[in-house]
């Protein structure tokens, strides 16, 4: 008993013995493990392997959110939550890619995906952060209804113009991605059931009720606002918000399906002048290339 008592006293005296891992340590371990999951979705060879890869990805999204809940006051928490959003987007992207590749066994999100918890933490602890724009920018790649609600809140409640601008542009891009998917469903109606399952019945029906015209009008309004009010805001990667917003407005108004394409004139590969309008009414393939 005396020996055991001495051992316990020595262990208690060592300040490292009971010290819990820091958020940075736990985060790095989770990042490493998430990069080592097998099977990787892109390497998967079968429907079952792809399904397992998506399920594994979803578990890591929940793990990152749990870390943020455990360490709410750590300066690293915002980056951890941003990583959770990246994983959620990757999960949804893989699910949609499986629609083309899979034959029968289609993966879906795990029920407890922690999206609502992640958004609640961001709004509670980071709504006034000048660094919130990075996570807003990542949401443009997503599909989840919670992102739309979050981005609206950031636009109205953030005290920082840069963050508001990134949220405005991201919301327009987020909704535009949905609009493009609804256009695709016109050509591939068999995907409608899967898309409804991915979004949830209520959110899917809400977007569907807006119709193509309503969806387009909402997106154009947001892009116009982004260009006029936040045009000089710098994006985390790339140029200013206004430049990106103008480019996407031009695409919607001039290059969307059903729009009359702007005329092009130039010299063809045989050195002869041509105008695109000369081929109106015919099927034309435009192939742009360059050499340096």
Pairwise CA distance, residues 107 & 66, whole Å: 23
Residue 273 scores a pLDDT above 70: yes
Query: Residue 83: pLDDT above 80?
Result: yes
Same domain, 162 and 122: no
Q: Which residue(s) pair with 273 in the sheet?
A: 267
φ, ψ (nearest 5 deg) of residue 240: -75, 160
For residue 10, being part of any structural domain is answered with no
36 and 99 part of one domain: yes
User: Is 288 contained in some domain?
Assistant: no
Q: Are both 113 and 170 inside the same structural domain?
A: no
Domains identified in the chain, total number:
2
Express each pLDDT in 185-215 by its tens digit.
999 999 999 999 999 999 999 999 999 999 9
Residue 83 forms part of a structural domain: yes
The rounded distance, in Å, linking the Cα atoms of 155 and 163 is 8
Domain that holds residue 208: 158-256
- Considering the domain architecture, whether residues 165 and 115 belong to the same structural domain is answered as no
- pLDDT tens sequence across 215-245: 999 999 999 999 999 999 999 988 999 999 9
Whether the Cβ atoms of residue 213 and residue 250 lie closer than 8 Å to each other: no
CA distance 86 to 161: 24
CA distances from 18 to 8, 10, 14, 15, 26 (A): 12, 12, 8, 7, 16
- Is there a single domain that holds both residue 119 and residue 27? yes
Assigned domain for 149 exists: no
The string over 159-197, giving b where at least 16 C-beta atoms fall within 10 Å of a residue's C-beta and e elsewhere, is: ebebbbbbbbbbbbbbbbebbebbeebeeeeebbebbbe
The two three-digit tokens of residue 284, written as one number: 């034309």
Q: Is residue 194 part of a domain?
A: yes
Is residue 96, in this structure, part of any structural domain at all? Answer: yes
Contact yes or no for 207/181 (Cβ under 8 A) = no
Summarised one tens digit per residue, pLDDT across range 107-154 is 888 777 699 999 999 999 999 999 999 999 999 999 999 999 999 999
- Domain co-membership, 26 together with 122: yes
């Amino acid at each position: 008993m005396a020996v055991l008592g001495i051992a316990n006293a020595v262990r208690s005296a060592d300040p490292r013995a009971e010290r819990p891992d820091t958020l940075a340590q736990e985060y790095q371990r989770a990042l490493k493990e998430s990069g080592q999951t097998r099977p990787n979705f892109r390497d998967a060879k079968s429907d079952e392997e792809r399904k397992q890869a998506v399920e594994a990805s979803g578990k890591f999204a929940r793990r990152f959110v749990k870390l943020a809940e455990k360490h709410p006051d750590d300066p690293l928490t915002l980056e951890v939550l941003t990583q959770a959003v990246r994983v959620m987007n990757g999960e949804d992207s893989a699910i949609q890619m499986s629609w083309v590749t899979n034959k029968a066994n289609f993966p879906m999100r795990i029920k407890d995906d922690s999206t609502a918890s992640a958004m609640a933490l961001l709004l509670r602890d980071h709504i006034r952060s000048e660094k919130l724009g990075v996570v807003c920018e990542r949401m443009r790649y997503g599909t989840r209804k919670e992102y739309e609600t979050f981005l609206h809140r950031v636009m109205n409640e953030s005290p920082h113009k840069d963050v508001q601008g990134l949220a405005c542009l991201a919301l327009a891009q987020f909704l535009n991605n949905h609009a493009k998917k609804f256009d695709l469903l016109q050509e591939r109606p068999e995907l409608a059931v899967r898309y409804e399952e991915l979004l949830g019945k209520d959110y899917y029906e809400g977007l569907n009720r807006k119709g193509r015209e309503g969806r387009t009008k909402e997106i154009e309004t947001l892009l116009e606002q982004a260009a006029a009010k936040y045009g000089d805001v710098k994006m985390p990667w790339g140029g200013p918000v206004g430049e990106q917003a103008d480019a996407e407005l031009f695409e919607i108004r001039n290059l969307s399906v059903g729009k009359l394409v702007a005329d092009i004139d130039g010299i063809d590969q045989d050195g002869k002048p041509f105008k695109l309008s000369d081929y109106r009414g015919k099927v034309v393939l435009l192939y742009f290339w360059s050499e340096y």
